[in-house]
Amino acid sequence: MKLQGLDNNAVWDTAPRGRLLVIDDDPFLRATLKEQFAAEGFEDVYEAENLFEAFREIDDKNPDLVILDIRLPDGNGIEICRKLRDRGFTRPIIMLTGQNAEQDIIASLEAGANDYVIKPMRMGELLARVKSQLWQHKASDTARFSIGGLSFIPANKLLKSADETRKVILTEKESTILKYLYRAHPNCVPKEELLAEVWGFQNGLSTHTVETHIYRLRQKVKRLTNKTLILTNASGYSLSSVP
C-alpha cells in the first residue's frame, strides 16, 4: 500500500491527544501509520486487520477515533461504520477510500462516517483530518436550535417536532449542513461554499454531493413538518425560517 511521506515543513498546532484505532488489512500500512502517529505524540495507537478484531479492539480499547478502510477481507467498511453507529459509537470515524469512488464516499458519509481520505494518501493530510476531528468532537455543539418550529440538537444529530413526539436522526453531514445554514441565515449559502465547509477541499467530489445530501435532509424534514424548511436559490440554499 503506497503512502506518501509527511511534509517536513508542516507545522502542527497542539491538538487533543486520543486513542486511535487503525482498521486495515495491510500490515505495512498499519505499521507505518502507528509509527507516524507515535512521532506526532499519539501514545495509544491500536490496530485491527478484520471485522472480528475491529469490534474486539473497540470494546477493549474504547478508541477516541477510528480510521477504517472501506474494504476488509471479512466485511465492508461501510457496513462496519453503520453497525458501530447503531451500537451507539459516537466518536469520529475516518474512512479510507479508493480513487474515483464517489458512491462509496457518499455511502460512507450516509452510514455515519465523519470524514474520508482517498488512497494513496498523504500522511500530512491524514494527520490534519485526525486532529481536526478530535477537536470537533471535543468541542461538539450541545446547544438546542429552533428552526422553522422544529427543535435541532447538533451534538446528538436529532431533529424533533415542536411537541417532541417525533424525531429523526441526521447523519454527521446532514447535521453539519443544517447547522451551517442556521448560522448563515438569512443569507444564501452557495453550493460550492457548503462543499468546502462541510467536506473540506477534497478531490473527487462535486456539488452533486451537496444536492444529494440536501435532498435526503429534506425527506427527513418532511417526516416532521409540512413546512418548506430549506429553500433553493439561484446559487445555493438557505433556511426559510429561524426564530
Domain CATH code at residue 235:
1.10.10.10
Q: How long a stretch of residues is the chain?
A: 243
Per-residue pLDDT of the chain (243 residues; tens, 9 = 90+): 445 444 333 333 444 468 999 999 999 999 999 999 999 999 899 999 998 999 999 989 989 999 999 988 888 999 999 999 888 888 899 999 887 778 888 888 888 898 889 888 889 999 998 988 887 776 555 557 788 889 887 777 889 888 888 889 898 899 999 988 988 888 899 999 998 888 876 667 888 999 999 999 999 999 999 889 999 988 899 998 766
Residues 75 and 189 reside in one and the same domain: no
Look at residue 13 in the predicted model and tell me its pLDDT.
Answer: 42
Query: Mapping DSSP to helix (H, G, I), strand (E, B) and coil, where does residue 128 land?
Result: helix
Residues 107 and 187 reside in one and the same domain: no
Look at residue 91 in the predicted model and tell me its pLDDT.
Answer: 87
Domain CATH code at residue 121:
3.40.50.2300
User: Which alpha helices (H) appear in the chain, and where do they start and end?
Assistant: 27-39, 51-61, 77-86, 102-110, 123-138, 172-184, 191-194, 207-222
Decide if 79 contacts 105 (C-beta within 8 A).
no
Of the three residues 138, 160, 193, the one that is the final residue of a domain is 138
Residues 25 and 60 reside in one and the same domain: yes
Residues 153 and 219 reside in one and the same domain: yes
